[in-house]
Amino acid sequence: MSKFNITRRGFALGGTAALLAAHVGAAKAAGLLEEIKKRGKVVVATEAAFEPFEFVLDGKIVGYNMDILAVVIEALGVQMEQLNLPYQGILPGLLAKKFDFVATSNGINEERIKKYAYTRPTGSYETVIVVRHDDERVKTLDDLNGLVVASQLASSVQPILEAHNAELKAKGGAGYAELKLFTAFPEVHIALASGQVDAIAIASPSAAVLMKNVPDTYKVATQIGQSDYLCWLTRPEDVDLRDFINARIDELNDSGKLKELQMKWFGFEMKTPKDGYLPAGAF
């Protein structure tokens, strides 16, 4: 083969490689948002067991976050496939690309910010300790020594309780008699009402609705940990979709509609800041 042919072939291969790289780069630059619009469908994961944020009523997923999601889907202009999944499978499923984003309530913690991209908060909460209405044993967090405490497995509350249990023991206390972790929060509520556990840790908005729905059964004993925010999640590489969702939440907030939805579902306004809600190093 002549040098001319070798050079010519090399140029052709190089040109093909350059064109392929440019095509891949353009596809990557387009991002998930464009892909969703082209396919005409978005796949969303939800754990519909966190009233009033998202729950099932008459066979349909409803709630505060579902009202926000309806606005996002309308703006996307595509069909939605919504998967109602146990919370323990939602975060791994997002990274495995089984769906496009998570529209269910997620607390912020140091471990998650390294793996997921958070949206602007849709709500805020305090983690509260709830006991049975007639139980006078728990006035402070130290009173949880020797009691059976429960929450949801893999929730943002779990590490808070684990740290508190260790703290009680470090101070010379007995610590919890047991930390029970259930698949979903409704199971946690039932466990307390039925006497399986002595106290539960849940988000304050859910506690308020729980006490309203089932009067004279539960009461808030104290608070544990700091106030925090609840957000939706995308994958870190899909911040284009995250930013699109944020823009819709911005519009709802600026128009006053977000406050209206909070009053509708909770009866009070929650903090949903546009900036400063994520720790350093978050996507």
One-letter amino acid at 209 equals: V
CATH 3.40.190.10 corresponds to the domain 125-228: yes
CA distances from 45 to 72, 74, 98, 155 (A): 14, 17, 9, 16
For the segment(s) 37-124+229-265, the CATH number from 3.40.50.1220, 3.30.160.160, 3.90.25.10, 3.40.190.10 is: 3.40.190.10
Could you tell me which residues come within 8 angstroms of residue 174 by beta carbon, excluding any fewer than 6 positions away? Answer: 145, 146, 168
Does pTM surpass 0.95? no
Q: What is the mean pLDDT of residues 178-201?
A: 98
**pLDDT, mean of residues 65-85:** 98
pLDDT band at 224 (very low <50, low <70, confident <90, very high): very high
pLDDT tens-digit profile of 103-136?
999 999 888 999 999 999 999 999 999 999 999 9
161/112 Cα distance (integer angstroms): 17
pLDDT of residue 110: 86
Q: Are the folds of 37-124+229-265 and 125-228 the same?
A: yes
Name the percent of the chain lying above pLDDT 70: 89
Domain ranges, ordered by start, for the chain: 37-124+229-265, 125-228
Token reading at 220: 């808030």
